[in-house]
Amino acid sequence: MDRQRHDAAQTLYDYLALRDASVGPADLIIGFGHFDLKIPRQCGALWRAERAPRILFTGGVGAGTAGLDQPEAVYFRDEVLRHCPEIPESTILVEASSRHTGENVARSTALLKAVSPEACFDRGIDRVILVATAARQRRVWLTCTKHWPHLSLENLPPHATYAQDLALFAEKGRDLDALLLGEVERLLTYPSLGYIAQPDIPREVLDAYRMLRQ
């Protein structure tokens, strides 16, 4: 990759990897399914830091599952319990049938209403920490903002760099730069379909997107 295209991909990655400067105490941590195992480890670290008392993992088998041999949310639960055995399994909820972000939101809502009516998005849960793979974080936030406008949503994806995730995706046989272009494409087209809230996309991000599409 030449330097210009590398810098453009870096610009897209930095924009998509939405991270709030400070994240206060919340009612729930949601880890969005993917092959990126930094996600459950981040959720476990947040639980250890007492950022929230419960974790919900959401994800079945979809485009981001890659080589995982079971639904993403199930794998995430097992992974976080391996790394943080002190977390009571009863504090972890698993939604393992969704195939994309819209279903993550809808089926997580239904799961909480079914298993925890006293603490669901209609009552009891007001602040939520969202944890997704970095390149997907902004779209996850925009999706949740559209469908859960009454919640306070905070973003804390796992710490990663463009170079680190480029290597991770290559290891899984995936093209991170193609994903970055696809994410921006969704930000441009999904608001009119009612899937996500309207994003504010800076000019430099649009310029980088157009250059990479050439």
Helices (H), 88-175: 101-115, 137-147, 162-171
167 φ/ψ sector (left φ>0, alpha ψ -120 to 50, else beta): alpha
pLDDT over threshold 70, residue 63: no
Residue 131, CA distances (Å) to 34, 38, 66, 192, 204 in order: 11, 10, 19, 25, 25
Helix and strand numbers, DSSP H then E, in the chain: 8, 5
pLDDT digits (tens, 9 = 90+) for 125-181: 999 999 999 999 999 999 999 999 999 999 999 999 999 999 999 998 999 999 999
Mean pLDDT calculated for residue range 111-118? 86
Residue of 63, 43, 62 lying closest to 54 (CA atoms):
43
Neighbours of 170 (CB within 10 A): 11
Domains of the chain from N-terminus onward: 3-213 (3.40.50.620)
pLDDT digits (tens, 9 = 90+) for 64-94: 566 777 899 999 999 999 999 999 999 999 9
Mean pLDDT calculated for residue range 91-99? 95
Q: Which comes out higher in pLDDT, residue 24 or 131?
A: 131
